[in-house]
Copies of this chain bind each other. A is one copy, B any other.
Amino acid sequence: MHKIPVGVLGASGYAGRELCTILNGHPHFELAFATANTQRGEHAFLGGREVRFIAPDDAPLRSAELVFSALPHGASAAWVERAQEHGARAIDLSSDLRPGHTSLKVPYGLTEVSRDSLRGAEVIANPGCYPTAILLSLMPLLARELIRPGSAIVVDAASGVTGAGNSPKPELLFAEVTENYRAYSVGNEHRHLPEMRALVQQFNADADLLFTPHLLPVARGILATITVQLTEELPDPLRIWDEHFAGEPFVEITPHLPALRDVVHRNVVRITARKAAGQRVPTLILLSAIDNLVKGAAGQAVQNANVSFGFAEGAGLPR
């Protein structure tokens, strides 16, 4: 059976490797090439197959019908353009083409939200890992205009270290991370904020966002804890999420508290909502968990590729 040849740019990073792993087991795509800069010439065993990283300049863009870019922010957009010039569709995992980062109107690949705009799309901006966890869990409230005008949505989230990439930095050494925990980008300074704000505005929600990320001593996974004030008391909040995401194969609404363990190595988001007692304003606590490398990066990227090419949306994806 003919498979669609696919290239991965920036394949040696954690997201790039996860892309190769998924693509090597995909029924309709096949890995045509994988580029890496410092690791050019090296091999890795990914998804049951040996992958050889080639230099970016050696990438046979012409041979691919689809290119995923897991290149660093700033460097990615130019390669996406180049891939398109060679006739390939492109999915950009960097922030370069996401809402809030560019004035271009590139379809934003938060699949469950913008599925229609992704069918046949030539280029897709794949969401950040934090925005995926956070925006999906907020969606039922945004769509129903249930967020209290003038309030602040307080998001505290924690991520495993693969979210910081695999460039060797002293603060990411094992001996620095084990038995440790800390916040970073405190004060609303994180690069993922613009795309979250853009989506909140798109739904006309008159609320501020306050986002504080933390670094966990785990390899993978994001848990977001979201405090949101409502326009009214909801007698059975979870019902709204059940309705909103009915039939979605990659969204798990649960009365239990989601844990990283429930979602790692899976292309799902797992969400619950709980009422907060003792508040004068009706308030919910949302908890949302994903694997930052799967639903938060490579998995969602392949999910978007499936939609773009008209394949079954879950083809090749771990559930």
Q: Is the CB–CB distance between B260 and A182 below 8 Å?
A: yes
Given contacts A156-B225, A225-B183, contact A218 B260 (CB under 8 A): no
Q: Which residues of chain B have C-beta atoms less than 8 A from A209's C-beta?
A: 278
Known A-B contacts A183-B257, A210-B227, A276-B210; the reply to A218 vs B218 at CB < 8 A is no
Q: Tell me if A175 and B188 are in contact (CB < 8 A).
A: no
Q: How far is the CA of A259 from the CA of B183 in the complex (A)?
A: 8
Q: Which residue of B lies closest to A256 (CB)?
A: B182
Digit string of A268-290 for contact with B (CB within 8 Å is 1, else 0)?
00000011111111010101000
Q: Contact flags (1/0) for A138-178 with B, using CB distance below 8 Å?
A: 00000000000010101010101110001011101111111
Query: Of residues 214 to 258 in A, which have CB atoms within 8 Å of B's CB atoms?
Result: 214, 216-221, 223, 225, 227, 229, 257-258
**Is A261 on the interface with B (CB-CB < 8 A)?**
yes
Interface size on A, residues (CB 8 A): 69
Instruction: Determine if A319 is an interface residue (Cβ-Cβ < 8 Å).
Output: yes
Q: Which one of B212, B260, B279 contacts A285 once the chains associate, using CB atoms below 8 Å?
A: B212
Q: Is the CB of B168 within 8 A of A260?
A: no
Residues of B within 8 A of A279 (CB): 152, 188, 208, 210
Distance to closest chain B CB from A16 (angstroms): 14
Q: In the bound complex, how far is the Cα of B156 from the Cα of A156, in angstroms? A: 7
Q: Are A183 and B223 in contact (CB under 8 A)?
A: yes
**A217, B214: Cβ atoms under 8 Å?**
no
Is A48 interfacial (CB 8 A cutoff)? yes
Are B319 and A48 within 8 A (Cβ)? yes
Known: A161-B175, A168-B168, A174-B177. A182 touches B257 (CB 8 A): yes
Interchain CB contact under 8 A, A175 and B189: no
Residues of the B chain whose Cβ atoms lie less than 8 Å from the Cβ of A57: none
Q: Which residues of A contact B (CB under 8 A)?
A: 14, 45, 48, 150, 152, 154, 156, 158, 160-162, 166, 168-170, 172-184, 186-189, 193, 197, 208-210, 212, 214, 216-221, 223, 225, 227, 229, 257-262, 264-265, 274-281, 283, 285, 287, 319
A-B contact pairs, 7 of them (CB 8 A): A48-B319, A160-B179, A161-B174, A173-B174, A174-B176, A210-B279, A214-B225
13 A-B pairs besides A175-B220, A181-B260, A216-B217 with CB distance below 8 A are: A150-B280, A158-B181, A158-B214, A168-B172, A179-B220, A179-B260, A181-B218, A182-B258, A184-B257, A187-B275, A208-B278, A210-B283, A210-B285
